[in-house]
Amino acid sequence: MDTAATAQIDLTPVRRAMILVTVVLATTLYGTTLLVVSTILPQMQGSFAATADEIAWAMTFNILATAIVTPMSGWLAGRFGTREVMVWSLAGFTVSTFMCGAADSLESLVFWRILQGGFGAPSTPLTQSILLTVFPRNQQTRVMGIFGVGVVLGPIIGPMLGGVMAESYNWRWAFYALVPVGIAATIGLRFALPESDNQQSRPLDWIGFIALSVALAATQLVLARGQRLDWFQSNEIIIEVLIAIAAFWIFATHCLTSPKPFLDPRLLLDRNYTIGLVLVTIYGMLNFTPMVLLPPLLTGIAGYTDSLVGYVVGARGVGGCIGFFIAGFAGRLDGRVSMVLGFGLLFAAGLWLMHIDLNVSYMSLATNAGLQGLAIGLIWVPLTTATFSTLPAAQIAEGTAVYHLLRNLGSSFFISVCVAEIVRSTGMNYAHLAELLTPYNKALELQSVTGQWNVDSVRGLASLSKEITRQATLIAYLNAFGLFTTACAMTLPLILLMRGKQPN
């Protein structure tokens, strides 16, 4: 008798309920910590005296670590057992979360965030596998619905918790507050999950895995540090680019020549799957970027409090819940319709963000965030269904790993690109605006325009310089939102190339 059948017969309803509560709690905890950072980035930036691009590493390298480890989840479960992987992963995740709060430097914070992402990566794929294993088939629809609610709750709770804790105490408590939950979930998993039967999985392709990991890490370093080091004027950037190229070449060559590569290139022969990979990469680019860009903009130059920023970002999670709910009812329709609608709404939200100013209201931002969440919810279900609709069942497990890998990479890389654009554009905008301030500019003679900005005193010049910086920074963020909007527009012709719903 197989493991799934044994688990379903031996486990009592109470034991199954305990498993459901603990694994969903673990998944929600991971989603919460992923987004809790979005609202506390400005406080962390001040605490470590970091620049905008440096503090973004706390987000990007966490997502990158998740991307690298996620494809290993199946191998880890087969090698060590699902219960052992879940328990030790959550234990390491909880310790890393505590150490993020205790970090005394930017380097240590980024280090623990990398470990946090790596330890947390197996939680979502293994949770789904556990629930499908221990629950009878007639209960799986309801159970997966509860699991979906847990997945969506994380993006709602995280930003709000981060904002409230940062404002009431400091940013460290946004991490500390999650530690007791992590301890409880770890203990619950240890006693609730049935003992795993270690199944022999195929050997991990270590050459492919290491080559891909090195290539991705080097590329992320180039994107994260390139603007500060003036790109190819820096020997460090040149070395990292060469390492990335060499590692990608080794990975690609190995995949094409190895009988059992880490990622099978034959998956790309399926049209829907290949287009789906491009779309999910763009989806990843669009998913977290606004949540990373908005908090520094709102707290740094628009005067918003941390808790208010948390509520703005949390509104996106509420919109996501509504979007997933609608997508469930729209399942009978051609998935391309829902995807076009979702990406179209994201495009509209991007255009909206491109036209905000420093007097933007809370309701306007919250409505925009809710619109983004609604779009994300509408896209995810039909995109996943269409991507795997024509893929053979034997390739779905490996195809899923690549799918989530590219989604996370899209998030990590695009955030770094947008932050680099903000840093670059702010300096250029400041220079262009400052050129307009000359004694011959008639606007400086109007009291209604200048107010306390005057060029006759040091204080007046300092005030004028501060205002130029604010406006230059705003324009830079609007440019980044322009990249976001352009990425949205790129998806629409790709969706039409996918095959529609296949007849039964």
pTM of the prediction?
0.81
- Helix 289-300 vs helix 396-435: angle between axes, to the nearest 10 degrees? 30
* Count of all residues that appear for the chain in the document: 504
Residue 368 tokens, joined: 């925009």
d(CA 98, CA 171): 12
Question: Residue 208 carries which side chain, given as an amino acid letter?
Answer: G
Give 442's DSSP letter: G
d(CA 21, CA 218): 39
User: Residues 2-5: contacts with CB within 8 Å, 24+ apart?
Assistant: 3/133, 3/197, 3/199, 4/132, 4/133, 4/134
Hey, CA dihedral for 331, 336, 342, 344, is it positive or negative? negative
**Full pLDDT tens readout for the chain, 504 residues:** 344 444 444 677 888 888 888 888 888 888 787 777 877 888 888 888 888 778 888 888 888 888 888 888 877 877 888 888 889 999 999 999 999 999 999 999 999 999 998 998 888 778 777 876 777 767 766 676 677 667 667 767 777 778 788 888 888 998 998 899 899 989 988 888 887 655 555 677 888 888 988 998 888 888 888 877 888 888 989 999 999 999 999 999 988 888 888 777 888 888 889 999 999 999 988 888 888 888 888 888 888 888 888 888 888 888 888 887 787 676 667 778 889 999 999 999 999 999 998 888 889 999 999 999 899 888 887 888 888 888 887 777 678 778 878 888 888 889 888 988 998 899 899 998 888 777 777 766 666 555 656 666 677 777 788 888 889 999 999 999 999 999 999 888 888 888 765 544
d(CA 264, CA 256): 8
* Residue keyed to tokens 């930017």: 106
CA atoms within 13 A on the CB side of 177: 20
User: What CATH code is assigned to 281-437+450-504?
Assistant: 1.20.1250.20
Q: Is 137 exposed, middle or buried (0-12, 13-18, 19+ CB in 10 A)?
A: exposed
pLDDT of amino acid 399: 80
Return left, alpha or beta for 303; rule: phi > 0 is left, psi -120 to 50 is alpha, else beta.
left
First to last CA, the chain: 32
Question: Residue 445 carries which side chain, given as an amino acid letter?
Answer: E
d(CA 413, CA 138): 41
Residue 78 tokens, joined: 């087969």
Architecture of domain 1-199: Up-down Bundle (1.20)
Residue 82 tokens, joined: 């699902």
* Element at 197 (helix H, strand E): none
d(CA 21, CA 196): 19
pLDDT of amino acid 131: 77
pLDDT of amino acid 1: 38
pLDDT of amino acid 9: 44
pLDDT of amino acid 195: 76
d(CA 77, CA 89): 11
- Calculate the CA 244 to chain-centre distance: 22
CB count in 10 Å sphere of residue 145: 11
Q: Give the chain's radius of gyration (CA, Å).
A: 24
Residue 327 tokens, joined: 């997508």
CB count in 10 Å sphere of residue 235: 9
pLDDT of amino acid 130: 80
d(CA 187, CA 91): 9
d(CA 194, CA 9): 12
d(CA 455, CA 467): 13
* Element at 137 (helix H, strand E): none
Residue 168 tokens, joined: 């009431």
pLDDT of amino acid 449: 59
CA atoms within 13 A on the CB side of 164: 9
- Helix 13-47 vs helix 82-102: angle between axes, to the nearest 10 degrees? 30
CB 383 within 8 A of CB 346: no
CB 156 within 8 A of CB 317: yes
CB 10 within 8 A of CB 194: yes
In Å, how far are 74, 81, 207, 376 from 56, measured between CA atoms?
Answer: 30, 35, 30, 22
pLDDT of amino acid 359: 87
Phi and psi, residue 119, nearest 5°: -70, -35
List the Cα angle 335/340/343 in 5-degree steps: 120
d(CA 176, CA 98): 6
